[in-house]
Amino acid sequence: MKENIIPAIRLTLFCAVFFSGIYTLSILGIAQLAPNQGKGEIVTVNGKNHHINVAQKFTQNKYFWSRPSAVDYNAAGSGGSNKGTNNLDYLAEVETRIDTFLLKNPSVQRSEVPSELVTASGSGLDPNISVQGAKVQADRIAKTRNIDKQKVLHLIVENTEKPLLGMLGTEKINVLRLNIELDKLK
């Protein structure tokens, strides 16, 4: 028994020191080389700081809407709702979101509503939507702001992030960046 306990204690102590100290400090050191020392990209708008990598809540018709959030966009506690896709409360919540979206976007058919606009992400803080998720909102925004829809669509194209190396991931749009650029339109 002694021949098993001593190595187990040594391994436990080594792992505690390595993962609590050495590994953590090495990741912190790598983060210091990243922009903003690993704290994420921060943008200041009207004197207020916003994190580009954390979803923001947009509910006004003049803005592109983000994905819904199970944590009400609170970055201190990210997480999903933990409700399964056959949970009746969850299905009613999604149905309400679809109805609200269709009410505010009358030119969109039910089958055209992208799932990310009515379902929360796993973290509840996903700052991106798909290109289709932005395009289905273009009519509402153009009418609310009294601008040409083509300007809105052009803005969507300009703010589309391509997949990493042209093949890893999908095209996406950061909602905060897009809304900041939208406010700059005259």
- Residues 45, 98 within the same domain: yes
What pLDDT shows up at residue 13? Answer: 94
pLDDT for 46: 83
Q: Which domain holds residue 101?
A: 41-184
Residues 162, 70 share a domain:
yes
Residues 76 and 35 in one domain: no
Rg (CA), the chain: 22
Which pLDDT value is given to residue 143?
A: 94
Q: Are 61 and 140 in contact (CB under 8 A)?
A: yes
**Residues 50 and 28 both lie in one domain:** no
Q: Report the alpha-carbon distance of residue 7 to residue 11 in Å, rounded.
A: 6
Is 152 found in the same domain as 98?
A: yes
How distant is the alpha carbon of residue 120 from its chain centre?
A: 9
24 and 110, same domain (yes or no): no
Contact by Cβ (8 Å): 116, 130: yes
State pTM to two decimals: 0.78
Pair (29, 70) in one structural domain: no
- 129: part of which helix (H) or strand (E)? strand 128-129
pLDDT at 81 (0 to 100): 74
Indicate if 15 and 60 belong to the same structural domain.
Answer: no
Residue 18 sits in the same domain as residue 105: no
Structural domains in the chain (count): 2
- Does 89 lie in the same domain as 6? no
* Residues 18 and 91 placed together within one structural domain of the fold: no
Same domain, 148 and 56: yes
Query: What is residue 11's predicted lDDT score, i.e. its pLDDT?
Result: 94
The tens-digit pLDDT sequence of the chain (186 residues) is 778 899 999 999 999 999 998 999 998 888 888 777 777 788 888 888 888 888 888 889 999 999 988 888 887 777 777 788 888 988 999 999 999 999 999 999 999 999 989 988 878 788 999 999 999 999 999 999 999 999 999 999 999 999 888 788 889 999 999 999 999 886
